[in-house]
Structure 1
């Protein structure tokens, strides 16, 4: 019977000791692979998208309670809860669309589609994020928990069914923004004005429609990468943009006038806040017409004028709420 001889490690010249170069190489490769997966997991969570969850602060901010630490920390916790569940839904959306994403010029670079994060690992992480966010929501308030469950339900339906139905897909995505605003109100038990809800609803529809409009112009003949784009025309989306931006401005004006009446302020801060709001809306329309807007979060994070207008609005409106 033959005997297998044990393979010896290469020895370092002059020492008689086994070389550790091979082991070091394997350890380095393993560490690099782990880092790559961790970076992929973070990218898949899409932290840039967390900017959308700032809407959680809208109702308590407008209600004038964020200067109270009790309400502030609850709003921060609600923000974290939405960051967790939104990242979880991104995981499951990309798991569901992994094959389609591999045929998309940009989405093919997403960690799951690119094979950086396996589908199995993505399922575990996505489920953990959803569970953590929902659990945190119910821990803060059963009403907030229900709002978060509603958000997860709508986004799940969107990922599986609704995104394939033109117009309904716009409303479904816009409703996610509205639910964020509602979440901020229920976690701090702040009364929501009807005009506030209408402004949020039409503003959300404006942003979502702008995204579709930019995608349609950007993709051109490759509209098969998103099924509903085949049903849209630039003319139709321009009409929806016009209606939604106009409705956003009108309802915001009504909300501002209502705020002045309710507060009884002698200073016209609420009315003055209309100016930066109007300018920001027009600025965003211009950006859309210039061929941008397929990734709204990147526009908001990169356009200095939009940021300046947003800051101006926060200052003026904040003066109306907390000073005027």
Structure 2
């Protein structure tokens, strides 16, 4: 592994072990931190389907994307409120999670139990009013399934991986549904297996990094072996590359434009290979930190995005 990757991996590992910052702003600051705004970056996936369809430049489509981005931020925050309220006793016994807003006493448990369902209902209602019934159905399924995940599914082998991966898939789907854009089967397969790669890679990294202590941090890891999780993330990344390739080479006959979407397979594949280094080393426990702090991944990501855009718009 190169020196640059080692440095980034070590920085990620050190930050993961750093003590949590104190919560500022009292109750309001606690409510904001409880909503996990740092995780909202995942919601940019709602723009994936309109971009892949080459319609992101239409104001009506972009507007729906902005609506659903905000709606998913609300829905995700609702899940975090309910999850942390449900896990409060376990979090208080954890060396790091005890500093979370509810576990530390900054946010009352009863208030989180009230606000969580309210935010979930608001998200579903807004998706129906601002978008369409199909969008409301997806948002509703996202909220219900992830509440069930917090209560039960996260302790069920394999289902826990599927539930977390489904959150990414729902985000990738909902942008197209909100804008009435047909979803490509290759797009759905790429998004689905790509999501599974990220989730299985995160769990694998946690096991590599923490060893026997991993199950104390995340109880569901007691159900897995490190070899099984390695199989899942390696299988899922292989299928992701395969389905993306099938999309990239699915060009209508007579299209004489330069095949940018085919060329986009190169940076796309190398991004996955670069990220897999962190997974294999056990330092991909926080995917958003790895992706944003590795300059090579960022550079390859921009190259992929440029080629992807040129391809879908037939430039």
TM-score (norm 2): 0.88
1:205-227 per-residue CA deviation (whole Å, 9 max, x = no partner) reads 00000111111123323213322
Aligned-partner Cα distance in 2 for 1:311–1:270? 14
1:38-67 per-residue CA deviation (whole Å, 9 max, x = no partner) reads 221111111111111111111111111111
Residue 317 of structure 1 pairs with residue 308 of structure 2 = yes
SS class of match (2:252): helix
1:65-114 per-residue CA deviation (whole Å, 9 max, x = no partner) reads 11111110111101110110011101101111111112223322211112
Partner of 1:97: 87
| Aligned-CA RMSD value | 1.7
Aligned-partner Cα distance in 2 for 1:190–1:262? 22
Aligned-partner Cα distance in 2 for 1:72–1:298? 27
Greater length-normalized contact order (CA 8 Å, ≥ 6 residues apart): 2
Partner of 2:106: 116
1:148-200 per-residue CA deviation (whole Å, 9 max, x = no partner) reads 00111110111111100111110111111111111111101111111111101
Partner of 2:118: 128
Counterpart of 2:217 (choices 217, 221, 225) is 225
Partner of 1:295: 286
SS class of match (1:261): coil
User: What are structure 1's unaligned runs of at least 5 residues?
Assistant: 1-32
Aligned-partner Cα distance in 2 for 1:218–1:242? 18
Taking a change above 3 Å as real, the CA distance of residues 109 and 304 of structure 1, as seen in their structure-2 partners, is farther
Partner of 1:15: none
Q: How big is the shift at 1:128?
A: 3.1
Partner of 1:19: none
Partner of 1:271: 262
Report how many residues are paired.
291
Q: How big is the shift at 1:34?
A: 8.4
Counterpart of 1:305 (choices 296, 302, 306) is 296
8 Å CA contact 2:207, 2:282 repeated in 1: no
8 Å CA contact 1:147, 1:183 repeated in 2: yes
Partner of 2:179: 188
Aligned-partner Cα distance in 1 for 2:233–2:305? 24
Counterpart of 1:249 (choices 241, 250, 260) is 241
Residue 213 of structure 1 pairs with residue 213 of structure 2 = no
8 Å CA contact 2:205, 2:281 repeated in 1: no
Counterpart of 2:37 (choices 35, 41, 47) is 47
Aligned-partner Cα distance in 2 for 1:84–1:256? 34
Taking a change above 3 Å as real, the CA distance of residues 39 and 263 of structure 1, as seen in their structure-2 partners, is farther
Q: How big is the shift at 1:265?
A: 4.6
Residue 81 of structure 1 pairs with residue 71 of structure 2 = yes
Greater Cα radius of gyration, structure 1 or 2:
1
Aligned-partner Cα distance in 2 for 1:196–1:159? 28
8 Å CA contact 1:178, 1:197 repeated in 2: yes
8 Å CA contact 1:48, 1:297 repeated in 2: no
